[in-house]
A and B are shown apart, each in its own frame.
Chain A
Amino acid sequence: MRKPSNVILLLMTIFLGYLTLFPLLQMVKDTFTVHVSESIRLNKAPGEFTLSHWAKVLFDPSSLSIFYKPFLNSLATSLGACLVSLVFGGVFSWLVTRTNMRWKKILSTLFVFPYIMPSWTLALAWYNIFKNSVVGGVPGTIQAITGLEPPNWLAYGAFPIALVTGLHYAPFAYIMIGGILRNMDANLEEAAMMLKTSRKRIVYKITIPMIMPAILSTFLLVFSSAMSSFAVPTFLGLPVRYQVLTTQLYRTLNGINQGQGYCIAMLMILLSVAILAFNQRVVGTRKNYTTVTGKSSNISFINLKKGRNVISVIVLILVLIVSVLPLISFALESIILLPGDYSFDNMTLQFWIGTAEQNSIANNEPGLLKNPELWKALFNSLKLSLICALTAGTLGFLAGYGIVRGRGTKLAKLVDNLAFFPYLIPSMAFSVIYLSMFSTRHGIIPPLYGTFFLLVLIGTVKYMPFASRSGMNAMMQLSNQIEEAGEIIGVKWPKRMSRLVIPIQKSSFISGYLLPFTSCMRELSLFVLLVTPSNRVLTTLLFYYNEKGWNQYSNGINLMIVIIVLVINAVVNKITGASIDKGIGG
């Protein structure tokens, strides 16, 4: 108890236990009780005990379409997404760290863009490009240019969902694998080369086993993210009615079978936990990787020779397609009057600066920049993201500090898992639980529903995994002796933190704030149920416009969100050297 790290761990256990374990228990309870909307059908009073939800989800003839089919689809698209992001991100990180590919600096910067953008960005672009006559309307770009109609499997369903999700999370792979490759001693590969190992065998026997921990972490992150991704399957699955667990979750939570929804959410969490456990098991063996890696003094780049230009151009094009094209398409879509007509005559700024009277085509919604709703939402988004970033970042850093300092103890392990757990809970289920949890008084905690504080609370808990990871990374790199040196000459803990630990790990520390900020700015499903009139944020406004089909407005807001986040990231990076990638993997 003398050590501040133990106090932190204890407080964290209470804080996180209440805010993550309790919702979980609540959710378990919800899978066994009758909800208001179900009471008529089940002929039971709301709140009564029932096994019917689990029976319907798992042991009924209709379970096949309620759970098993969407489950298999989720599994397929998530695994597919993992494969895509590992291959795309992995090959890219290898090219950047190990070869003499051109334009590395700009490519690396662009490569992380998709992570900063909302996840539906690429799905929207894919839809615009590949859509075929199944949905009708203005033809997709491919069909418009070539006259060929993309087949259904290419335009909608499993293939594009896996691909688009994979591309969206490829930055994870790049940041994690690239991080290890950059820090991994190139001599390890050179040593194999000197022993007459073929290139293929080096990759297969040396490089891949070495980056295995990163591959597994990426796998875990991408898999959980893909599992809980909602927007992409909605965009690309609906035309061919391809259902995954999240769309099924949305259907049931939004419909009148909420109990089934909670069952599905529980099963999703269980699956993610299983993967997490598997991951920890594999990484935690005696093949201790970290002790042997260190900065390599002399990495020699593999000469791509004749392939250099070709490869560089291909990579550049791919990265531009994934990272820049969507932005251009948003800008374009926000200024065209009639959909599908990109001629100059059809362009207008009325959706940005027009008055309500000018915009009769969109139900008299004033142009974005003249719309007080937008300014209010922008202000709210920024306020919420900043506060969430501050709380999640600080708490996450403290948790990271406690976990690393208390390494080896059960308590540290518990906090580690508790802090990561919210990552595995699908946002939608999380917010539903918070909604019901905080709409009534809980002991000393007054009903929080409708307050801004509740948004902050859920944002903080949901984004703490990022911050605690980056906090742990930062603390791992910092020798305990630095703090001990301070302790010996009698420097108190707050001062040790503020004068020693934080300044030394400044950039990691700030990165821990950047991630929650970014995630918060582009979060939708977490907040959509919890916002009240005065608290509306940009993404909920975007969602609203999108639902209404007012594409110019939704594209315009999308562009604004991406640009704001990019600019803030760039400014913070310029001033402090912190960056998103430092936060995730270091």
Chain B
Amino acid sequence: MKKILSILLMCILSASFVFAGGSSETTSTVDLTTPMTHEELVAAAQAEGTLTIYTHSSRTTTIADSFEELYGINVEVTQLSDSEMIEKVSKEAIADLDAADVIYCQDGSRVYPELLMTGYVVSYTPDNVKGNIIDPQYENPLVWEVVNKVFVYNNENSSEQPLTNVWQLTEPEWAGRLQFKDPFSEAVNMNFFTMVTREDWAEKLAQAYKDLYGKELVLTTPNAGYEWIKMLYANGAVLGKSDTTIAENVGAKGQSKQLAGLFTLNKLRTAEAKNLALAPAYNMEPFSGFMYPAYVFITKNAKSPNAAKLFIEYSMTEEGWVPFNTMGDYSPVSYLQDNSEDPLTLTDWSSQLIYEDYQWCAQARADVEEFITSIV
């Protein structure tokens, strides 16, 4: 009896191990080379009939609704967090499941090595966008939009901008007054911290320190970027769960101390409706925050590759872009530069903010993660 049992167990276990690694390599179903006219594309897309999208933003649903109305293609949209997205898309690719056709995602530092390099997704630049991208850094892979997170302060009792240099945030006066989302639950925030440790930004930080205090920064860490992170945390930075909550906490009126936060500018849209006093800190030394790309990809085994192409194309037309024509969202496409809510354009912001470099992040983020783990 016992013998039978142990043999059975052994069989199961060994069988499982043998089959565990057996992922099948399949080639992509997506054909990016054959040129198609718009009409051909529409016809092919409508023949496919349905489209599944994974996205990091709920507003993609709104695009999907108008797309559905326009082309009669049934769209299913699911919102996922960054790491869920990567887990799911790679697992689906390995299992050769045709779950998603299009993914809108952020966190280049993981998307690049884990999805793009592995060939699980491919970047597709639609015809209407080709040649219309304002800066080469937004091409290849195609950046669908740029989002910014800016230092924002409570302006209920101050007409003047209280912050002009990021090192101010490490002063005792600002102790416990800065809030941002835990970088461990918000990958783009972690990427931002990774970016400040890159040599060029570290140098700019060192310079900003000198400009502010008139003396050299004394390093206890590899460079000024690490030093700034360390001092920021040591100064009692408060970690939050969501940018919405942080915006509410920072902007609530009637608080005795003035707070500031680093969160997406998008939260300023509803500030008035929520009775919040919030203003962005422009032109800080050496940066007022950061901006990061959100990408759009077609999965390698998309079952509706043409609908996917059509959707990407549509989402980058004036009509499709409408839900994102807001403060805090910026298109890299030249004909979508007019932001109805923000006087500053993407070009304006890019001179004030750190832009996420996926290659640097992919390479250095683990060190920064470990560094932050060790200082908290």
A residues sitting closer than 8 Å to B (CB atoms) are 1, 6, 10, 13-14, 17-18, 21-22, 25-26, 36-41, 47, 56, 61-62, 64-66, 133-138, 234-235, 238-239, 241, 243, 250-251, 253-257, 338-340, 360-361, 363-365, 410-411, 432, 435-437, 439-443, 447, 449-450, 528-529, 532-534, 536, 544, 546-551
Contact = CB atoms under 8 A, between A and B. Distances in A.
Contacts of A549: 241-245, 247-248
Contacts of B241: 234-235, 238, 546-547, 549
A36 B176 CA distance: 37
A241 B235 CA distance: 13
Given A338-B274, A338-B275, A136 B366 contact: no
B244 A22 contact: no
Contacts of B59: 363
B374 to A, nearest CB: 5
Contacts of B185: 250-251, 254
Contacts of A339: 248, 252, 274
B110 interface: yes
Contact of A40 (B1, B16, B244, B362): B362
B334 interface: no
Interface in B175-190: 176, 179, 182, 184-185, 187, 190
B218 interface: no
B373 A134 contact: no
Q: Interface centre among A253, A255, A360, A410, by most B CB within 10 Å?
A: A255
Contacts of B91: 435-436, 439, 449
Nearest to B270: A361
Nearest to B376: A241
Contacts of B244: 548-550
A96 B331 CA distance: 65
29 contacts: A14-B12, A21-B9, A38-B366, A40-B362, A41-B363, A65-B376, A135-B238, A136-B252, A136-B257, A137-B248, A138-B248, A138-B249, A235-B241, A238-B241, A239-B238, A239-B239, A241-B233, A254-B184, A257-B366, A339-B248, A340-B252, A360-B273, A361-B270, A435-B87, A440-B22, A440-B95, A441-B95, A442-B19, A549-B241
Interface string B249-264: 1111001110100000
A449 to B, nearest CB: 6
B12 A18 contact: yes
Contacts of A436: 91
B52 to A, nearest CB: 6
9 tightest Cβ-Cβ pairs between the two chains A and B:
A549-B244, A137-B249, A549-B242, A439-B91, A251-B184, A136-B249, A533-B78, A447-B95, A41-B366
By secondary structure, the B interface counts as helix
Contacts of B48: none
A36 B113 contact: yes
Interface in B53-99: 58-59, 62, 76-79, 81, 83-84, 87-88, 90-92, 94-97, 99
B134 to A, nearest CB: 27
A257 B373 CA distance: 12
Contact of B238 (A47, A134, A138, A254): A134
A211 B94 CA distance: 52
Q: Interface centre among A62, A365, A410, A549, by most B CB within 10 Å?
A: A549
B236 to A, nearest CB: 8
A533 B91 CA distance: 15
B5 A442 contact: no
Nearest to B365: A256
Contacts of B81: 254, 547
B338 interface: no
